Structure formats: structure tokens, C-alpha cells
Amino acid sequence: MTGRDGRPRIGVAAVIAAACAAMRAGATLAEAFEHQADGDWADGRMTSGASVIAGSFATMSESTPDSVTSNEVVADCIPRWSASAGIGRITVTRLRGILAGRALPKERGQQIESVATELAAAVRLSESSGCPAVRCLEVVADSYRRARLLDDLRAQAFAVPQATVKLLSALPLITVMLGELLGAKPLSFLFGSTQGATCLGLGMCCYAAGVAWMRAMLRDMDGG
């Protein structure tokens, strides 16, 4: 199963796990998510701000004969600045795009939005507190897995009530059809007399109210 960009839909949890594995292998936060993006982040390792810094160091190196300033300082500072800028590129919008492109069909937009927000918050927390980014992302992954497990259990619990609602919704029509097969001619009574039309109108009102009531109860129990 592939997404619109041709990449496989591996699921939200797998995207986070892949990012954690990439960081354990030595990748930065930005790199861990960039390789799963569809090209939106393919703007090179040096951002425009880093280019400005490089130009400033180049100007300084022309006026300062010390080779340490022109070579070692530039080589050391620019990658560090770029790594910090990479964290800035990890926004909720971009994370949402990555997750939406890799999400499984049963993973809803609300879940993707929630995980994208939590991932962005985890990145900011790691940057501000110094906590290892892998641990922060793993907390988000664990939270998402628990939420998915809860959704699966809820879906299983509601499978029987939903089937019952469908059966009860179709029961009046089935009853009328059986009456016609048995020769009771309920359609002639319902549409051919005033009493039948009155019964049909009252029955339709009760039917609509009952269906709306059952669906409302299911929505309330489902938390939505």
C-alpha cells in the first residue's frame, strides 16, 4: 500500500520508530524526518542563515591571517548552526504532512493532527531541556500506541451494538415484505386507507425518532 507520493504507507507509529532508529544511527532530528518527507525539506544542509554566517567568517578570514579562524571555526560553527536550524524546520505543518502521507487508511486525521502536535512539542522540549530527542519521541510513540489500542478496544466493544442497530433499522421493511409474501397485503392497508396512512405516518415518526436516539447513544458512548 502506497501513498500519493509513491512511498509505502507504514503507519504513524512506524514513522516515529524509523525516526528514532535514524537518530540512534547518528542522524540529527531534522535528518531523521527529512528522509521520510516528500521533498519539501530538500533545501540542502546549509540554510540561508548559515550562508550568511559563512560569508561573515569568510570576510573575517580575509582580514585575519590566522588559518584557524578561517578554516576550523567555520567548519565547526556552521554545522552546529545548521543542526539548530534543522530543529526549527520541524513544524507541526510539516510533521502533519509526513504523517498523513505514511498513515494507514484506518488512522484518522484527528489522530494525525494530535501526534504531529505532540511530536513538535517533544522536539521543542528536547531542544530546551537537553533531554535526548529519541526518548522524547519514544514517549509520543508510546502514547499513540496506547491511544490506538483504546480505539481498537472501543471498536470491538461497539461492533455488536452497531450490528443490532442496523438490524432494528431494517426490521420494519423486512416485516412489511414478509407480510406481502404471506398474503396479508400490508401495503394495500397502509396506502389504500385513511387508517393505514395514519398508522404509516405514526410509524415513520416513531421509526425516525428511534433510529436517531440509538445513534445518539452510540455517539455519546463513543465519546464523540
Residue 121 sits in the same domain as residue 18: yes
Regions in the chain scoring below 70 on pLDDT: 1-7, 38-89, 221-224
Residue 216 sits in the same domain as residue 116: no
* Number of domains the chain is built from: 3
Is residue 18, in this structure, part of any structural domain at all?
yes
Is residue 56, in this structure, part of any structural domain at all?
no
- What is the Cα–Cα distance from 17 to 65, expressed in whole angstroms? 48
Q: Which domain holds residue 175?
A: 159-184
Task: Give the chain's mean pLDDT.
Answer: 75
Residue 152 sits in the same domain as residue 163: no
Amino acid at 43: D
Q: Residue 6 has what pLDDT?
A: 60
- What is the Cα–Cα distance from 200 to 184, expressed in whole angstroms? 16
Q: By the 8 A CB rule, do 162 and 218 touch?
A: yes
Q: By the 8 A CB rule, do 103 and 9 touch?
A: yes
Residue 121 sits in the same domain as residue 213: no
Is residue 176, in this structure, part of any structural domain at all?
yes
Residue 142 sits in the same domain as residue 178: no
- What is the Cα–Cα distance from 88 to 37, expressed in whole angstroms? 15
Amino acid at 134: V
Residue 19: exposure state from Cβ atoms within 10 A (0-12, 13-18, ≥19): buried
- If DSSP codes are grouped into helix, strand and coil, which group holds residue 10? coil
Residue 24 sits in the same domain as residue 120: yes
Q: Residue 107 has what pLDDT?
A: 84
Q: Residue 38 has what pLDDT?
A: 59
Is residue 175, in this structure, part of any structural domain at all?
yes
- What is the Cα–Cα distance from 51 to 59, expressed in whole angstroms? 12
Is residue 22, in this structure, part of any structural domain at all?
yes
Q: Residue 161 has what pLDDT?
A: 81
> How distant is the alpha carbon of residue 27 from its chain centre?
24
Is residue 89, in this structure, part of any structural domain at all?
no
- What is the Cα–Cα distance from 191 to 179, expressed in whole angstroms? 14
Residue 151 sits in the same domain as residue 171: no
Q: Residue 83 has what pLDDT?
A: 42
Residue 210 sits in the same domain as residue 175: no
Is residue 143, in this structure, part of any structural domain at all?
yes
Is residue 67, in this structure, part of any structural domain at all?
no
Q: Residue 205 has what pLDDT?
A: 92
Residue 149 sits in the same domain as residue 164: no
What are the cell numbers at 44?
540542502
For residue range 114-144, what is the model confidence (pLDDT) as tens digits? Answer: 999 999 999 888 888 888 889 999 999 999 9
Residue 20 sits in the same domain as residue 117: yes
Q: Residue 91 has what pLDDT?
A: 84
Contacts with 84 (C-beta within 8 Å, 6 or more apart), sequence order: 127
